[in-house]
Chains A and B, each alone.
Chain A
Amino acid sequence: MACNGSACQSGCYKNGDELAAPEEGGAAAASNSNSNSSSNGSGNNLCVKCKVKEPFTVAGGGGGEDGRFCAECFRSNLFGKFRHAVTSNAMIGPTDNVLVAFSGGPASRVALQFVHELQYKAQKNFDASRDRSLPVFGVGVAFVDESAAHLPSSDKAMDQAIEDVKSLVLELSPPAKELHHFPIESICSGDSSDQREKLKEVLNAVTDATGKEDFLVHLRMLALQKIASENGYTRVVLGSCTSRIACHVISATVKGRGYSLPADIQYVDARWEAPVVLPLHDCLAQELNMLCHLDGLKTIELPYEPQSTINSLISSFVALLQEENPSRESTIVRTAGKLTPFAFNRIPEINDTNVPLATRRRQKRSSLKLNGSISSESFCPMCYSPLIQSKVQALDTPEASKTNSYIFGSSCCSSCRFQILPQDPLCMEHFYSHLPPPLVARASSGNAHDIRSLREHIQDYLLLDSDNEQ
């Protein structure tokens, strides 16, 4: 029934693209934030934005962006997208303390650079202003060290990488930023050798390679949240870019996580104690790579072996599609953007009168965008994804046999139950007993998010800070 592309001579590849093109052309135009009434043909070879300088080219071809912008317009275009995301989603306020998650890769490198530049400008304004009314937000850097999960023992290349990270952060001042080098096993209980043991045990219990990889991502977020809460950070900045989000859209679909997908791909994710924000949401990986190349931004490669998982299959697939059509990643993200987000996909309202009125107003404006968002009541303790209420499992086994590990397992989403949790009950017991305490706490604490949002409602009437909050 379907057209077999190779046999057909009509060139329906072109035709298909023509049919889809008006929408995608729009997306590409939007992502370039440029008028596209001018043709693509570079007859006069000038930067399409300033029309003064010559566009830069990357040796071997840089794809869609190549030969269109001069270096400066390219940079300002990219920074513009970042700044637009930050301001229109009220991501960073003057009283915030921002933790930038740094993995060493180009996207998080650019995130770090741009946040630094924003802070630097704010500092300059502060120094120059007479009344010093607008404080400057603080910035810290988190480097979650996952070597215990990937490498058998201490590794010279890893040690060097850590030193490189330290010197990189030192260079990003003024204003000075604290670096938090956090070995991922530290979220487990016990002393450092206990922790390494527990981490290894818990990772070995996960037999599915994709499940293991995803499990590590959940642990990483736990680590970031721990750093944030122990050091007073109010925001976590991730360098997730359009390309990464596009891969996540496909991978969530493929893992049966269609319901919770919108939660992970918005600009703001306030499920967490320290809300997670994605200021590079509208930037393509290719653009970020190019910027690192142009500006000599140092990236750090970690000595981990790539795993063959569904996630890596999807990355290759999306990369292939992007090559075939440079607006594919944007299209994927835009399509998924039409799914209904959740109530926690906005910065919670600020009722603190110490926060400048302008900031509070801006935040109110951005939160109005999410009308009709879904309020969810329960979350999977493993991945913290919102669960469809009707599908929350009823525990209909006799009370006596409801062990803690059983309760934990039954409250997880079906995707985590399949790809992460051990099938065998004994293995599951063992697995559960080695889980990091914050993960275990999620299942039994009921619903941390709900408690927080309840608190928001009654905040004005509370006289004392509750001692119960951990």
Chain B
Amino acid sequence: MEETAAKPRRSGGGGRQCCICHERRPALKRPKTLEQICRECFYAVFEEEIHQVIVENQLFKPGERIGIGASGGKDSTVLAYVLSELNKRHNYGLDLFLLSVDEGITGYRDDSLETVKRNEVQYGLPLKIVSYKDLYGWTMDEIVKMIGLKNNCTFCGVFRRQALDRGAALLKVDKLATGHNADDIAETVLLNILRGDIARLSRCTSITTGIYSPNAYRGFAREFIKDLERIRPRAILDIIKSGEDFRIATSTKMPEQGTCERCGYISSQKWCKACVLLEGLNRGMPKLGIGRSRGLNSNQMKTDKPTSRTKSIESKQCGSLDF
């Protein structure tokens, strides 16, 4: 970052210069610090901070193949730009790719996929699109035709989470970079507290993970975080700090991390959630793995203790159970 050793020039309003270069007129007030900053310095500071995070946490090694999760949205576009910039500027020596997921929903992804294709051209990053059809044999349109409009969010969410991972494996990338920002992580910390998900709470602030699942009160949480940021911008980072400082009691039962018997994906059950859902689709039993219905895993697992309440284990997301 070039810091111009300029003499502070005072124009009529005194202190109306960018607080970093003291030369140019400020273009915005930086949300993180509320400082007044000009465009060029904002770019510089923003990129430098990301570079620092990468260096301090040793996120990459030279020669690694990095898949950039690209949705076509602002976060992944910025990520693609910044990573390719920094890769050049600081000689990370990385092999960068764009990785995009096509759920097979007509009209939904088309625009964003166009954006990603543009990114490919603009930043010179090869693009690979993995589709649900490729990975699972079903498009979302086909799934919806089979199961209707209820519960399709479950399918899409579970499949999408795995799709990036599986796509990355197909491409033989060493690491997956996603555009999750502080707001996302803060929101996730908050949601995990609200949901009672202690297992995820302990994982969600580690720098290399980020997990989503669709829920209605996410909307409330998002609003809350926006309001909070207005009152105290640093609260977002404070939430992340709290998340990092949480000490989970060792007596708390955490789900065991194993692998799915069918596909080898990480799972705390014999079959991962995606495989359970797929089995249901393929067998024409679309309710398998949804809600409280007794399903595949309970038949497979001999260790399942009979309970009087119809609590179904497989209705929970992978990695979110208490044993």
Check: A174 CB closer than 8 A to any chain B CB: no
A12-B153 contact in complex given A258-B245, A261-B242, C-beta closer than 8 Å: yes
Which of A147-155, A189-197, A329-337 lines the interface with chain B? A329-337
Q: Is the CB of A2 within 8 A of B193?
A: no
Known contacts A8-B153, A250-B190, A252-B242; is A339 also within 8 Å of B195 by CB? no
Closest to B240 in A: A256
Hey, which chain B residues are within 8 Å of A372, CB to CB?
A: 249-251
Q: In the bound complex, what is the Cα–Cα distance between A343 and B224 (angstroms)?
A: 34
- A16, B291: Cα distance in complex, Å: 9
| With known contacts A254-B235, A310-B231, A338-B198, A10–B151 Cβ distance under 8 A | yes
Q: Which of A11-28 contact B (CB under 8 A)?
A: 11-13, 15-20, 22-24, 27
Complex contact A324–B220 (CB within 8 A)? yes
Q: State whether A16 touches B249 (Cβ < 8 A).
A: no
Task: Tell me the smallest distance from the CB of B320 to a CB of chain A, in Å.
Answer: 9
Interface of A is mostly: helix
Tell whether B259 is near chain A: CB-to-CB under 8 Å: no
B178 nearest CB neighbor, chain A only: A1
Which residues of chain B are near A9, meaning CB under 8 Å?
149-150
B252 within 8 A of A: yes
Check B247 against A339 for contact (C-beta < 8 Å): yes
A415, B308: Cα distance in complex, Å? 47
| Most A-side CB within 10 Å, residue of B196, B238, B241, B251 | B196
For chain A, give the interface size range: 35 or more
Given contacts A210-B232, A321-B220, contact A3 B214 (CB under 8 A): yes
Q: Are B216 and A12 in contact (CB under 8 A)?
A: yes
Size of interface on B: residues with Cβ below 8 Å to A: 63
Q: Is the CB of B308 within 8 A of A340?
A: no
Contact call A335/B196, Cβ cutoff below 8 A = yes
Chain B's closest residue to A29 (CB) is: B309
Q: Are B154 and A24 in contact (CB-based, < 8 A)?
A: no
Least Cβ–Cβ distance between B197 and chain A, in angstroms = 7
The answer to whether B315 touches A339, judged by C-beta atoms less than 8 angstroms apart, is no
B246 CB-CB contact with A under 8 Å: yes
Indicate if the CB atoms of B248 and A339 lie closer than 8 Å: yes
Given contacts A20-B196, A254-B239, contact A310 B151 (CB under 8 A): no
Contact across chains for A15 and B151 when beta carbons are under 8 A apart? yes
Pick the residue among A12, A23, A254 that contacts B228 (CB under 8 A): A254
Contact with B along A355-393 (1 / 0, CB 8 A): 000000000000000011010000000000000100000
Asked if A5 meets B218 with Cβ closer than 8 Å, knowing A37-B308, A254-B239, A258-B244, the reply is yes
What is the CB-to-nearest-CB distance from B49 to chain A, in angstroms, rounded to a whole number? 19
Which residues of chain A are within 8 angstroms of B231 by Cβ–Cβ distance?
210, 309-310, 313
CA separation between A313 and B309, bound complex, in Å? 38
Interchain CA distance A255-B153 in the complex, whole Å: 33
A436: min CB distance to chain B, Å: 26
B182-206 CB contacts (< 8 Å) to partner A: 189-190, 192-198, 201
Assess whether B247 is in contact with A259, with CB atoms less than 8 Å apart.
Answer: yes
Interface residue? B292 (CB, 8 A):
yes
Contacts of A317 in B (CB 8 A): 220, 224
Q: Of B201, B228, B292, which one neighbours A335 at CB under 8 angstroms?
A: B201
Q: Which residues from chain B sit less than 8 Å from chain A, CB to CB?
A: 71, 73, 149-154, 156-157, 160, 189-190, 192-198, 201, 212-220, 224, 227-228, 231-232, 234-235, 237-239, 241-252, 290-292, 308-309, 311-312, 315-317, 322
Known: A16-B216, A374-B247. 4 other contacts (CB 8 A): A3-B215, A10-B150, A18-B292, A22-B312
A–B complex contacts, Cβ < 8 Å, 14 sampled = A8-B152, A10-B149, A15-B150, A16-B213, A16-B217, A19-B316, A20-B196, A22-B312, A258-B243, A258-B244, A258-B246, A321-B217, A328-B194, A338-B252
Write the residues of chain A forming the contact surface with B, with a CB cutoff of 8 angstroms.
Answer: 1-3, 5-6, 8-13, 15-20, 22-24, 27, 37, 208, 210, 249-250, 252-259, 261-262, 309-310, 313-314, 317, 320-321, 324-325, 328, 331-332, 334-336, 338-341, 371-372, 374, 388, 415, 418
What 6 A-B pairs have minimum CB-CB distances, sorted nearest first?
Answer: A258-B242, A3-B214, A256-B238, A13-B216, A16-B215, A259-B245
